[in-house]
Structures are given as C-alpha cells and as structure tokens.
Amino acid sequence: MDALHQFLVAPFTEFAFMQRGLLGTVLLSFSACPIGVFLMLRRMSLTGDAMAHAILPGAAAGFLLYGLQIVPMTIGGLLAGAIVALGAGAVSRLTIQKEDASMAAFYLISLALGVTMVSLRGSSVDLMHVLFGTVLALNNAALTLIGIVAAVTLAALAVFWRALVAECLDPLFLRSVSRLGTPVHFIFLGLVVLNLVAGFQALGTLLSVGLMVLPAAAARFWTQRVETMAVLAIAFGLVSSISGLLLSYHAALPSGPAIILSTGMLYFVSVLFGTRGVLATRRPRHAHRIA
C-alpha cells in the first residue's frame, strides 16, 4: 500500500511543480475536451491541428519582443490565429480553392515562419519550449490564463450548447429557423483558438491540439449521445493528464509528449474495446440457436 502511495500520490503531494502541472492539465481537460467533441462532429479535427500551428508566428513575435512572457505571447497567438482563420476563409470563398487546402497552405506557412522567428533570437531550448510546451513549469500567470479560458469556455458551452449541437448535426436547418447559425459558428471558432492558446502554455503549439482531439475521438467509440461524449472526453482527458504526469515523473520523460501518449493509449483501447469499436462491430448480433 505504501509503495502504491509513493507511486501514485506522493509526486503530487511532495512537489509543487507536479501540482501546478496537474492543475493546468485538469483545467485544460474540462475546457478543451468538449470543444474537441464538436471539432470531431464537424469533421474539423485537422482544422484544429492547423489552427494550433497557426498561432505559432504570433507567439513567436511576442517571444522576440518580450521573451518568454505569457501576455505578449498569448496576445500574439490570438491575433495570428484570427488572421489565419480569416485569411483561409477568404481564400476559400473568393477563389476556386477549397477551405481544407487553403487552411493547409496557411498553417504550413505559419509553422515555418514561427520556427524561423524563434530561431532568430532563441536557443534550441526556447524553440522546444514553444513547440512542445513545459507542463511542469507552469507559473501563476499561465494557470490564471488557463483558468480564465476554461471559465469562458464552460460558460459559452452552457449558453450555446443546443445551438452548437444543432449547428454540428444540421447547420442548414439551424440557419433556416434561427439567426444564431453564423454567430454560433464564429463563437465556436473563437473558443477553438482560445483553447489552443491556453493549451499552448502547457503543451506547445505542436501538441496542444492533442488533448483537444484525442479524448473526443476516443469517446466517440463508446457513445452516440453528444452530452455523454463530452463527459467521457473530459474523463479521458483527466485520466490521460494524471497518468501522463506520473509517467513523465517516474520514467524521466518530457511531460507534454507523455500526456499525449497516454491519451493515445486510451484512444487505441477505445478503438478495440469500445461499445462501437472494432471488436464490438465484429461480434454477431444474434446468437445462433442449435437445433
């Protein structure tokens, strides 16, 4: 029992950096995982990944001007994400190019530009910090930002839940019966960018979308109800955060990748054993009676 306590509980009770990492990832789980459910239902998971890369130039600009300061990097990330989202949307509407292709073009340019900007001033350590985050180095300012984003996200979900579900499942119907269709779409995109910027503080630009999408994708294999899917996604995010931090601590692994790998393991377990997973769909639906 004592060994189990030392393995599971002691790292979080004895070390402040583990407590901060746990608090940050718990807040992100409650905030980003439900957003990931809507991204998946809209078939926009790769768009979320593209937007995660899109915030990099803005964060890099904040880093170049002020160093590793949370406020300038956050403001820069928000502005860059908004510019890329609007730019990709404008290209897809004004030209023959589809939105997925224009988004891919913008995110590739953004990623290359951001890495170049960080490399101009920072070291390889700074570049790794921006790309992969530092969960175990979250300070009060970062935790405050993540907490504010979580509160705003949960409040927006509570107010617009029904409209968000309707806009995912039948956007044309929502626009025919309500004027909320277009505003809800932009509110949702704003929440995506906010959560990516919050996740960037802990997991970096390359991995922040992982905690948003993977738990939601895993939850899809267990239920069809959106509400249950969101609750399951949050639960998977919490389990992944705790197990990833413990794996990082005991195996001396980078904390961000360890959390995403833990989420990936839950995803593959769900693919195989979920009620809508591979093994469930291969079972015969009716037992054959032996005469």
91: CATH: 1.10.3470.10
pLDDT at 22: 94
Q: Is residue 280 one of the residues assigned to a domain?
A: no
Residue length of the chain: 291
Residues 6+ apart with CB under 8 A from 188: 35, 38, 164, 167
Q: Is residue 33 one of the residues assigned to a domain?
A: yes
pTM of the model: 0.85
Helix, strand, or coil (residue 229): helix
pLDDT at 243: 95
Question: What sign for the dihedral angle of Cα 207, 209, 211, 215?
Answer: negative
What proportion of the chain, given as a percentage, has pLDDT over 90?
33
Contact between 70 and 145 under an 8 Å Cβ cutoff? The reply is yes
Q: Is residue 289 one of the residues assigned to a domain?
A: no
* Site of tokens 């890369």: 53
pLDDT at 290: 44
Contact between 146 and 27 under an 8 Å Cβ cutoff? The reply is yes
pLDDT at 137: 81
Q: Is residue 285 one of the residues assigned to a domain?
A: no
Buried b (16+ CB within 10 A) or exposed e, 112-136: eebbebbeeebeeebbbbbbbbbbb
* Site of tokens 């009676």: 289
pLDDT at 279: 84
Give the model confidence (pLDDT) of 14-70 as tens digits: 999 999 999 999 999 999 999 999 988 887 777 777 777 778 888 888 877 877 677
Range of the domain at 207: 1-275
Domain tally, the chain: 1
pLDDT band at 229 (very low <50, low <70, confident <90, very high): very high
Quick one: tokens of 91?
A: 């290209």
